[in-house]
Structure 1
């Protein structure tokens, strides 16, 4: 075993340190993967992913019961009453919550332990030794609720608590993908409500397909492998769906699938490692008893979100292969630069106007490609122009980042665009260099006096 580990370390060191021309295709692929893992790790730190994961973990706990209520209503409507127990067990097993458990022989007995029972309403003699048993108890209690007695106010609180989790997820994903803003409230309500109600049905259906496959291979030596592969594929597809749907910006499918593949692998590995740790961690259960399930569950939720955010960072790094400025990317592969002339906003607006005249809606990706600028810079420029009332963001199908002129091109002056562009230069000082720059800006403004976006296009023609 040690020899294999030593050989693996030597292989990785050789892949990282040797010149690219001395590496074969397989080694180049490994080097590229390591490079992007490094970029994703740097992105986690820059985007403060640990803090975002902690916020998402809090929201998950806060929204646990409301989400359970909505999921149970959706499953009960689709599968019929009395069909909740089986799907609940499958979901808990899939999430690895049965592995977050203590050996009952290690739990302390006595009145003290019973007094610390964290699950209200459960017989102290039946204190749950696993998070799954704890959640099953919550599900049983929720199933016995009289939903008609909750009332309109209670229903609104439940809906808000459930939707707040999805909104927090979108906010975190938008930060990583540099989305300029979130969705409209109406769009959030419709999309997220559909996600909360339809996603559990899709998950249970995927479990049904997995069980059919396991039955087909029943008795075969590869049955265990088939079960593992099916579970991994379900995780992969669910995470990929979240990566492509949640950010309010253009997300390419291939990078999202690649990032989700890595995240799903790490999550499945984490479920196994977490279960192994708890199986051999006897002191924790002896010290805290069943109360220790709460921090352990919180830790697992935190790790889950950290893994998902890492996969998203990797997907974003892959998508920005030719546009993101990062020291880990080859310089000859980059497009755009960290610095640009703020007057490039005039060219930007001209490109949007050209597409508008052709009856097309411009997108951030189109503008970035045509101008050779990073998408992050194009997003920033769009936000600045929108603040000055020169540009509008419009819904454009799956693109979701359509751009259009706020006014006819004949009424948009070049001076207005240049005034907006000056904000990209930052604040000025009394330094002589800044005074010279101000003089250059003044000459630009005087040269473009009376010119509009439409007349600039006519001169170009």
Structure 2
């Protein structure tokens, strides 16, 4: 009986936690206007479709092993269109691609710019999902876009090649007994390779440290959802033809738009999952509470304390290292870092590490409160009761207001309060060890 109650209690806790996770994800998607972002990317994708296809097919053409994959890529694009419209659409797109191969240098540059605009739009959407306000330097963004333009087609080619091989095995006479297993295997391979592509996008594109485990969760979720979307879309096209009766010769347009929109919803949903996982873990540790304003001061002191320790040791602090050592969300940490940077208290090095920019002995607590937007002013015409509270808090601050941050951070009592931000049972290392200095990834 006791075991049954314990099991029921655990199941109830799991159900409650799952519901909380789904609710958290839903609120985040609404806040980021996920559907609007997907619609915008769908429109941009239409403009960049031919340039991206031309680049993808050109990259695959450089590798003879992917000759069959190129044809399958063309076929995969046309498979989503109605049967009576696919031939006409194929002829038009093939005509566009043939024209692209005969363009002048200016035309090629125009194609590349259009493709880069799509990647820039994707980058902007992911920045919205991750709450990123500071863009990468232009050179870094170009390198990321170039990697996606070259590696993306290769991943697609590998996926199509492996899928073709698995299906061929499944249909051969020697494996008819286990043919269904090979079909399932080919689908699994397709999911895995799609997941690799999503993981790379979620891990590389955002200008923020993304934990590989979070990118893996979001990437696999998006890959599974995409496979389900392909199955549902194929089922719809095969069994429901009412759209053709309504739109007639234009039936291919709404079908293709619907596919593009659903695809981008899935891509952004995977990004939302990846971005929200660290926030969810912090929120769960706080029992669902939000302490963004309440911890702003102690968070800033903790950051300055760690950077001060690193400064004394002649080292710097990595963003990811700092994030893992503090029970705050990436957005909360970045907001605080942004305020401190604007006040020229900290700065980023050329290698994207954090370090102090000013002597903390020459900065007082009152200035820090001003930077963080936490300074209380009794001189404002507040109600009498509110003014009394402000005056009481000012009195409690007393000697700390004019004290330098360096002296405060050397205060054992204050050091103890900032130490409470550290996760239980874990050290909060600031000094970089030899492996990190060599450039080891977080």
TM-score calculated relative to the size of structure 1 = 0.75
The change in CA–CA distance for 1:368 and 1:71 in structure 2 (over 3 A counts) is closer
> Which residue pairs with 1:418 in the alignment?
369
Structure 2 counterparts to residues 21-420 of structure 1, below 5 A: 21-23=6-8, 32-79=17-64, 86-93=68-75, 97-104=77-84, 129-130=85-86, 134=89, 137-146=92-101, 149-152=103-106, 154-215=107-168, 218=172, 219=175, 220-221=178-179, 222-324=181-283, 329=284, 331-332=286-287, 337-340=291-294, 342-344=296-298, 345-394=300-349, 396=351, 402-409=353-360, 412-420=363-371
Distance in structure 1 (CA, Å) of the matches to 2:301 and 2:58: 53
CA distance in 1, matches of 2:378, 2:208: 30
Equivalent residues of 1:410, 1:454 under 8 A apart: yes
CA–CA distance in 2 between the matches of 1:424 and 1:20? Answer: 51
* Closer, same or farther: CA 226–427 of 1 in aligned 2, 3 Å: farther
Cα distance in 2, alignment partners of residues 31 and 170 from structure 1: 34
Rounded to whole Å, the distance in 1 between the matches of 2:393 and 2:304 is 21
Q: In the comparison of the two structures, how many residue pairs are matched? A: 401
- Structure 2 CA distance, aligned partners of 1:426 and 1:295? 58
2-structure distance, mates of 1:428, 1:312: 46
Measure the CA separation in 2 of the matches of 1:136 and 1:407.
64
Cα shift at 1:54: 0.7
Deviations 1:78-98 (A, max 9, x none): 449xx76x433323455xx44
Structure 1 position 156, deviation (Å): 3.6
The 8 Å contact of residues 170 and 182 in structure 1, kept in 2 or not, is answered as no
Unaligned runs of 5+ in 2: 416-442
SS at match of 1:323: helix
Of residues 256-265 and 216-225 in structure 1, the stretch that sits farther from structure 2 once superposed is 216-225
CA contact (8 A) 2:218 2:271 kept: yes
Alpha-carbon displacement from aligned partner over 1:171-219 (angstroms, at most 9, x marks no partner) = 2222222234222211111111121022212321343344444455543
Q: Deviations over 1:439-461 (max 9, x none)?
A: 8559859744362x445455669
Q: Does the aligned pair in 1 maintain the 2:222–2:267 contact within 8 Å?
A: yes
- Counterpart residue number, 1:118: none
Which fold has the larger relative contact order, with Cα–Cα distance below 8 Å and residues 6 or more apart in sequence?
1
Deviation at 1:297, TM superposition (A): 0.6
So what's the TM-score if we normalise by structure 2?
0.77
More helix by share: 2
* SS of the residue 1:321 aligns to: helix
CA distance in structure 2 between the partners assigned to 1:234 and 1:371 by the alignment: 34
- Cα separation, 2, equivalents of 1:38 and 1:273: 25
Conserved in 2, the CA contact under 8 Å of 1:390 and 1:407? Answer: yes
Whether the aligned pair in 2 keeps the contact of 1:41 and 1:310 (CA below 8 Å) is no
